[in-house]
């Protein structure tokens, strides 16, 4: 699960998907394309919205997406088109490129919909993000 800072959207996506899959079979992680927040805990607003839905993201720490992640992971879900461009710019092979998917394609296939960046907004944005990610992860878990 990849966003820009790895403190707002992708930590939620990581934990939501983890809550829907068998951890013995599916390895889920998240990262940000940017380095600015590496090592930091999730944004308090993401922590609060996760807690409201009985998920704990407090143990997570932000990290920057690395080219090696293309080899570690089978599928790389990006939150928006800007993340997609950034991740694809690091892809070296067609196989790597094919791993990258816009997460909301899971709900709106082919419609190119972004998960809006809630960083500069209020808590409503985080609730909306949670709802979108929950629906997308439900479909991901069902189809894995």
Q: From the list 6, 14, 84, 132, which residue makes contact with ligand 4NP (rule: CB under 6 A)? A: 6
Contacts (CB under 6 A) with ligand 4NP, residues 32-91: 32, 36-37
9 binds ligand 4NP (CB under 6 A): yes
Q: From the list 119, 125, 134, 138, which residue makes contact with ligand 4NP (rule: CB under 6 A)? A: 119
Q: From the list 106, 117, 130, 136, which residue makes contact with ligand 4NP (rule: CB under 6 A)? A: 117
- The one segment of 19-27, 29-37, 63-71, 93-101 that binds ligand 4NP by CB under 6 A: 29-37
Q: What is the dihedral of CA 91, 108, 52, 17, to 10 degrees?
A: -50
Residues 71, 77, 83: CA angle, nearest 5 degrees? 100
Q: Cα–Cα distance between 1 and 22 in angstroms, integer?
A: 17
Residue with the shortest CB distance to ligand 4NP:
5
Interacting residues with ligand 4NP (CB under 6 A): 3-9, 32, 36-37, 117, 119
């Amino acid at each position: 699960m990849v966003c820009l800072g790895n403190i707002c959207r992708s930590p939620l996506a990581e934990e939501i998907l983890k809550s829907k899959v068998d951890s013995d079979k599916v390895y889920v992680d998240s990262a940000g394309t940017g380095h600015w927040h590496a090592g930091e805990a999730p944004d308090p607003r993401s922590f609060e919205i996760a807690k409201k839905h009985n998920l704990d993201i407090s143990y997570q720490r932000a990290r920057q997406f690395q080219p090696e992640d293309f080899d570690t992971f089978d599928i790389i879900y990006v939150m928006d088109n800007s993340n997609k461009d950034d991740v694809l710019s690091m892809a070296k092979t067609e196989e790597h490129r094919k791993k990258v998917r816009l997460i909301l394609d899971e709900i709106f296939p082919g419609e190119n919909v972004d998960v809006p960046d809630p960083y500069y907004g209020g808590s409503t944005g985080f609730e909306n993000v949670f709802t979108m990610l929950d629906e997308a992860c439900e479909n991901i878990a069902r189809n894995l």
